[in-house]
């Protein structure tokens, strides 16, 4: 037990030391480095070179390679390593929500500044690069640290094949990934917390974002095979509060949470195909409460695939999909409920054990890499659990639907009159629910139907 605590403490100290060095290195960049406009300035490339449709976050094969090589490619001259973005939207649901989704907003037809972010993004020489994002949340009226990906990279050969290898220090499992199949960068690429969403998703779908710190080693072999292995730990509660994150949700990782990723990429039908798998295993003290001696255990196993093709007309086709199976044993949460009397008439196994399955897929077509249409489908289902899903009539987490998006990016080619690194996307997004929190009709037992949550969202996304 003492050895385990010592190893855990050593891992945390290593993460914090690496974070301090890496963040410090990015702040003293002599030359910057990609997905945000400061990356475009550094590479001398228009946003279209790295991004499908000329706007992030969906990456082209060139953009993937740039990220895997540590955001270090540059044209030689100094460019400022700072960028910013603003997202604003109007959200309408088919029926009014039961209560305002956030303080200061109505039950429907809400205009909002969803977020405003500042990025410090760049690289040092050929071996160090990354980005750190700080965000003002216009819904909660709070500042917080946001996505971070800092890299130490090198190149070489293995078995006569080119090799890129390195370390990534990040704060959101899958934010380091380059294929738009994993949760951090999956479609839809912009959303609002004012819109209703299903109550249940796998842990890897963002529940740990900005509440953990992880270090992974990775290798990119012959621009075909990707291998990654690492682990995540939870910073101290005071550190997370200082960074603007909730230190109690979803909880504190016991020891470390292992993460692994494998992907294979190759040409197919004139485009680029990727197939892969990923794994996250985490034991959490729910709400940092250790009083029961029991943790919540999650095992997420995922499979994914993507395909991208650029036509001779410069039109672009993409397809992305993933499947995640999650096994849950929420012993800690259930023991706390049994202890305080909030859960009655059930045993611990009946309360704790369940599974979730998530399937997502999206396909897009971008005309001249400026005007795009995307359709996405999603399905979440799982085992029946009378305690976890007590608010659902069928006692299941099942939700499914379709998301449609039309968007335009007029300046992805770098020809804005406001400057080559000012970019803009405007779009219309519609989500239609086929089932919601358990069923299609009367899912809450009070007459609410899945389609009541159908959401129209009109958004503007500016980067500079």
Q: pLDDT tens digits, residue range 405-426?
A: 999 999 988 888 888 888 999 9
Q: Using 50, 70 and 90 to split pLDDT, how confident is the model at 401?
A: very high
Residues with Cβ within 8 Å of residue 118, at least 6 apart in sequence: 82, 83, 84, 133, 134
Say if residue 436's pLDDT is above 90. yes
The larger pLDDT score, comparing residue 33 to residue 115, is at 115
Say if residue 13's pLDDT is above 60. no
- In this structure, are strands 161-170 and 371-382 parallel, antiparallel, or unpaired? unpaired
* 429 vs 91: CA distance, rounded Å: 10
- As a whole number, mean pLDDT of residues 19-36 equals 37
Looking from the CA of 151 toward its CB, the CA atoms found within 13 Å total 28
- As a whole number, mean pLDDT of residues 166-185 equals 97
- As a whole number, mean pLDDT of residues 164-182 equals 97
- As a whole number, mean pLDDT of residues 374-400 equals 92
Overall number of domains in the chain: 1
Q: Is 60 left (phi over 0), alpha (psi -120 to 50) or beta?
A: beta
The predicted pLDDT at position 7 comes to: 47
The predicted pLDDT at position 31 comes to: 30
E strands within 54-94?
A: 82-93
The predicted pLDDT at position 341 comes to: 65
The predicted pLDDT at position 65 comes to: 94
Cis peptide, bond prior to residue 367, ω within 30 of zero: no
Say if residue 15's pLDDT is above 60. no
Q: How far from the centroid of its chain's Cα atoms is residue 263's Cα? A: 18
> 């993933």: which residue's tokens?
322
The predicted pLDDT at position 215 comes to: 98
The larger pLDDT score, comparing residue 414 to residue 62, is at 62
- As a whole number, mean pLDDT of residues 216-239 equals 98
* CB count in 10 Å sphere of residue 223: 16
The predicted pLDDT at position 118 comes to: 96
Say if residue 3's pLDDT is above 90. no
- As a whole number, mean pLDDT of residues 211-229 equals 98
The predicted pLDDT at position 21 comes to: 36
CATH number at residue 134: 2.40.160
Say if residue 209's pLDDT is above 90. yes
The predicted pLDDT at position 159 comes to: 94
Mean pLDDT, rounded, of the chain: 90
* 58 vs 60: CA distance, rounded Å: 7
pTM, 2 dp:
0.89
Q: Using 50, 70 and 90 to split pLDDT, how confident is the model at 14?
A: very low
pLDDT digits (tens, 9 = 90+) for 306-357: 999 999 989 999 999 999 999 999 999 988 987 676 777 777 777 889 999 9
The predicted pLDDT at position 52 comes to: 94
- As a whole number, mean pLDDT of residues 244-254 equals 96
Q: Using 50, 70 and 90 to split pLDDT, how confident is the model at 61?
A: very high
The larger pLDDT score, comparing residue 210 to residue 4, is at 210
- As a whole number, mean pLDDT of residues 163-180 equals 97
Burial track 279-314 (b if 16+ CB lie within 10 A, e otherwise): ebbbbbbbbebeebebbbbbbbbbebbbbbbbeeee
The predicted pLDDT at position 133 comes to: 96
pLDDT digits (tens, 9 = 90+) for 94-108: 999 999 999 999 999
As a whole-number percent, the residues of the chain with pLDDT over 70 amount to 92
The predicted pLDDT at position 4 comes to: 46
The predicted pLDDT at position 217 comes to: 98
Structural domain containing residue 285 = 2-463
């Amino acid at each position: 037990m003492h050895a385990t605590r010592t190893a855990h403490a050593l891992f945390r100290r290593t993460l914090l030391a690496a974070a301090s060095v890496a963040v410090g290195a990015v702040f003293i960049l002599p030359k910057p480095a990609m997905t945000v406009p400061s990356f475009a300035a550094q590479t001398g490339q228009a946003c279209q070179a790295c991004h499908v449709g000329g706007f992030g976050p969906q990456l082209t094969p060139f953009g993937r390679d740039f990220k895997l090589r540590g955001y270090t490619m540059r044209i030689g001259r100094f460019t400022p390593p700072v960028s910013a973005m603003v997202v604003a939207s109007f959200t309408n649901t088919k029926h009014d929500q039961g209560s305002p989704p956030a303080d200061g907003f109505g039950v429907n037809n809400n205009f909002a500044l969803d977020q405003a972010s500042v990025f410090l993004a760049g690289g040092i020489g050929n071996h160090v690069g990354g980005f750190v994002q700080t965000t003002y949340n216009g819904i909660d009226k709070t500042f917080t640290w946001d996505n971070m990906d800092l890299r130490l990279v090198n190149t070489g050969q293995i078995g006569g094949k080119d090799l890129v290898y390195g370390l990534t220090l990040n704060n959101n499992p899958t934010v380091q990934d380059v294929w738009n199949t994993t949760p951090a960068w999956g479609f839809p690429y912009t959303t609002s917390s004012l819109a209703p969403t299903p109550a249940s998703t796998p842990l890897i779908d963002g529940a740990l974002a900005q509440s953990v710190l992880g270090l992974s080693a990775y290798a990119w072999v012959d621009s075909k095979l990707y291998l990654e292995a690492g682990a995540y730990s939870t910073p101290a509660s005071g550190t997370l509060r200082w960074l603007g994150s909730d230190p109690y949700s979803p909880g504190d990782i016991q020891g470390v949470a292992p993460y692994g990723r494998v992907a294979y990429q190759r040409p197919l039908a004139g485009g680029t195909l990727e197939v892969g798998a990923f794994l996250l295993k985490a034991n959490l003290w729910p709400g940092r409460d250790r009083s029961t001696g029991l943790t919540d255990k999650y095992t997420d196993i995922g499979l994914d695939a993507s395909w991208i093709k650029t036509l001779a007309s410069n039109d672009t086709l993409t397809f992305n999909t993933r499947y995640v199976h999650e096994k849950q044993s929420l012993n800690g949460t259930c023991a706390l409920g049994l202890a305080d009397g909030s859960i009655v008439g059930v045993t611990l196994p009946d309360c704790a054990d369940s599974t979730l399955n998530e399937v997502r897929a999206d396909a897009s077509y971008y005309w001249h890499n400026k005007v795009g249409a995307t359709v996405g489908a999603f399905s979440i289902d799982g085992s029946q659990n009378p305690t976890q899903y007590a608010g659902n009539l069928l006692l299941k987490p099942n939700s499914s639907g379709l998301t449609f998006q039309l968007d335009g990016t007029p300046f992805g080619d770098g020809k804005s009159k406001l400057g080559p690194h000012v970019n803009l996307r405007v779009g219309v997004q519609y989500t239609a629910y086929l089932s919601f929190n358990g069923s299609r009709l009367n899912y809450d037992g009070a007459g609410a139907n899945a389609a009541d949550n159908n959401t129209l969202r009109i958004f503007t996304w500016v980067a500079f």
